[in-house]
Amino acid sequence: MRIDEADAHTAVLARLATLADTLVAGFDPVDLADHLVSSCLEFLPVVNAGIMLDDQRGHLRVLASSSEETRLLELFELQNNEGPCLEAFTSGLSVTVPDLATEGLRWPMFTGEAMGLGIVGAYALPMRLKERTIGALNLFCDTRNALSEPQLRLGQVMSTMATLGILNHWTVQRHEVLAEQLGSALHSRVVIEQAKGVIAERSRVTMTVAFEMLRTAARASRRPLTQVATEVVTRARMPTPNP
């Protein structure tokens, strides 16, 4: 549920401070990415959000999604090599499409798939610092002209904070292991997806509900999401939110 307008300014500042806290000790790119997409849903009039990240080998990978439908749409975008996120990453510029119905020629496959999911508008913000673009933030809306310029700027601020965190995480490592570090983050996402599948099958719930169960258990036990997911996959231990 979105906050009341009267409290919006204070809440946004508090969330930005929380995001900043994640950039220090115990930094986990996957946790930060999930925090960012959930913040977008809370503070912006979007129905879904996702992050794609460069794997340092010239390929984009899905790092975070607010729902299973979003993850599949982002994978569809990558598989068919068309869509706003790819353009934002390639150009380093924001891509704003307030009405997807006008872009059938530009992205014929992506547009049809997205509109079939009820997505009417799409916005992609590059995760960019100076001349380096490491990924892009996808924002999907179910109404036309959903995002105002101030809202887009807020989205870009949050995206830039995530970019700073990830780049800082990389630069504290030696240059030759940067690709390995990012590969670890992307591997963490694979483990999380596997854990979601285990939970969904055993608990007979959707993948979206399974992810919420996993994230709730991680937050309640104050452990990294990847650690809890690994236990589910390797030990067949279902997530139990411990105080």
Contact yes or no for 208/67 (Cβ under 8 A):
yes
| Residue pLDDT, tens place only, 27-65 | 677 888 888 888 889 889 999 999 999 887 778 898 889
d(CA 226, CA 224) in angstroms, rounded, equals 5
| Residue pLDDT, tens place only, 183-235 | 777 778 888 999 999 999 888 999 999 999 998 988 888 888 888 899 998 87
User: What's the one-letter identity of residue 32?
Assistant: L
CATH classification number, 188-235, choose in 1.10.260, 1.10.10, 1.10.40, 1.20.1630? 1.10.10
- What are the CA-CA distances from residue 221 to residues 148, 189, 216, 217, 237 (Å)? 38, 19, 9, 6, 14
Q: How confident is the model at residue 172 (pLDDT cuts 50, 70, 90)?
A: low
Which of 50-59, 70-79, 155-164 has maximum average pLDDT? 70-79
For the entire predicted model, the pTM comes to 0.71
Answer whether 5-172 and 188-235 agree in fold: no
Residue 141: per-residue pLDDT: 96
Could you tell me the fold of the domain covering 5-172?
Beta-Lactamase (3.30.450)
Q: Which two tokens stand for residue 33?
A: 């990415």
Specify the higher pLDDT residue, 219 or 2. 219
**Could you state, in order of their start, the residue ranges of all structural domains in the chain?**
5-172, 188-235
User: What's the one-letter identity of residue 30?
Assistant: V
Residue 173: per-residue pLDDT: 52
Which letter does DSSP use for residue 82 in this model? -
